[in-house]
């Protein structure tokens, strides 16, 4: 029963991170941008767990757990901010949130 | 067997990830993101992280994504209109992303040990007992600080989303 090379997990993490970057930079909907941030956080979690396997320590799992906790807190506050933006502008397009532009 | 399981969940994670980025309506992106988190939970199980896999399903897919779906349905967010992006973005966007992926993959290939293989069942310290042992001794301070962080996040969300009583 042969195993999977460790690099494959890390490359999967890199692919998911790049997809998150693509969604963050190219999409114009606030909620989709926020979901791309969550995708990037998940990719980094996979990287943590992979290295925890490699180093035979459980510290990576604990760091991934803290990342999850911080992501939960950030999701709560970020969605509250998105709700406020929608209440004031009636639009979720990030191009419309431009009152601080020149 | 390990390779088959890894490929199934990895391909489903990448397919759902592409779907998150590509879909027009945010609710479809949210459902695809739940698919990504489910596939990642299965991959964590393959890497021996039983606690983290359960936490991923319960916290990430079961709480955070449900919050996202609530907000999307509350705001009745429609499909995204075709925004006009400037031509440098259109021209350089995808090649620069491929370059980023290439650089990351090169670094990974360079530094990852060639003979290390992940087999299911080789890592046994991912259960709650081992995580608890470390969480409450060595990482006690971050643990207590995250409780303060969650309190602050709750207060912030309540303040930001409340209705003004005029």
pLDDT per residue over B42-101, tens digit each?
Answer: 999 999 999 999 999 999 999 999 999 999 998 887 766 666 667 777 788 888 889 998
pLDDT value of position B118: 77
Distance CA B41, CA B22 (A): 23
The CA R_g of chain B, rounded to the nearest whole Å, is 21
User: Best of A1, A2, A4, A81 to disrupt the B interface by mutation (most B CBs within 10 Å)?
Assistant: A4
Q: How far is A38 from A9, CA to CA, in rounded Å?
A: 18
User: pLDDT of A5-15, one tens digit each?
Assistant: 888 999 999 99
Q: What is the pLDDT of residues B14-34, one digit of tens each?
A: 999 999 998 888 999 999 999
pLDDT tens by residue, A73-88 = 999 999 999 999 888 8
CA–CA distance, B128 with B125 (Å, rounded to integer) = 8
Q: Residue B33 and residue A39: Cβ atoms within 8 Å? A: yes
Q: Do A17 and B104 touch (CB under 8 A)?
A: yes
The DSSP symbol for B117 reads: E
What b/e string do you get for B31-53 counting C-beta neighbours within 10 Å, with b at 16 or more?
A: bbbbbbbbbbbbbbbbbbbbbbb
Contacts for A88 with CB less than 8 Å, ≥ 6 apart = none
pTM: 0.91
**Can you read off the two tokens belonging to residue B31?**
């459902």
């Amino acid at each position: 029963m042969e195993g999977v090379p460790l690099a494959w997990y890390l490359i999967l993490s890199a692919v998911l991170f790049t997809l998150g970057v693509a969604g963050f930079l190219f999409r114009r909907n606030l909620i989709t941008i926020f979901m791309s941030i969550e995708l990037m956080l998940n990719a980094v979690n996979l990287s943590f767990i992979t290295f925890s396997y490699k180093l035979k320590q459980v510290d990576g799992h604990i760091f991934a757990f803290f990342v999850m906790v911080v992501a939960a807190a950030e999701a709560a506050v970020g969605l509250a901010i998105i709700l406020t933006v929608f209440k004031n502008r009636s639009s979720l397009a990030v191009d419309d949130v431009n009152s601080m532009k020149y | 067997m390990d390779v088959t399981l890894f490929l199934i969940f990895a391909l489903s994670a990448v397919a759902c990830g592409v779907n998150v980025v590509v879909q027009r309506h945010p609710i479809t992106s949210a459902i695809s993101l739940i698919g990504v988190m489910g596939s990642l939970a299965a991959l964590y199980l393959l890497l021996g992280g039983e606690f983290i896999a359960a936490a991923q399903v319960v916290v990430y897919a079961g709480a955070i994504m449900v919050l996202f779906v609530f907000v999307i349905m509350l705001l009745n967010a429609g499909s995204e209109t075709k925004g006009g992006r400037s031509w440098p973005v259109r021209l350089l966007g995808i090649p620069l992303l491929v370059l980023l992926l290439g650089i990351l993959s090169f670094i990974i290939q360079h530094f990852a040990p060639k003979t290390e293989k992940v087999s299911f069942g080789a890592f046994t310290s991912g259960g709650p007992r081992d995580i608890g042992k470390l969480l409450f001794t060595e990482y006690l301070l971050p643990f207590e600080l995250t409780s303060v962080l969650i309190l602050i996040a709750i207060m912030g969300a309540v303040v930001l989303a409340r209705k003004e009583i005029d």
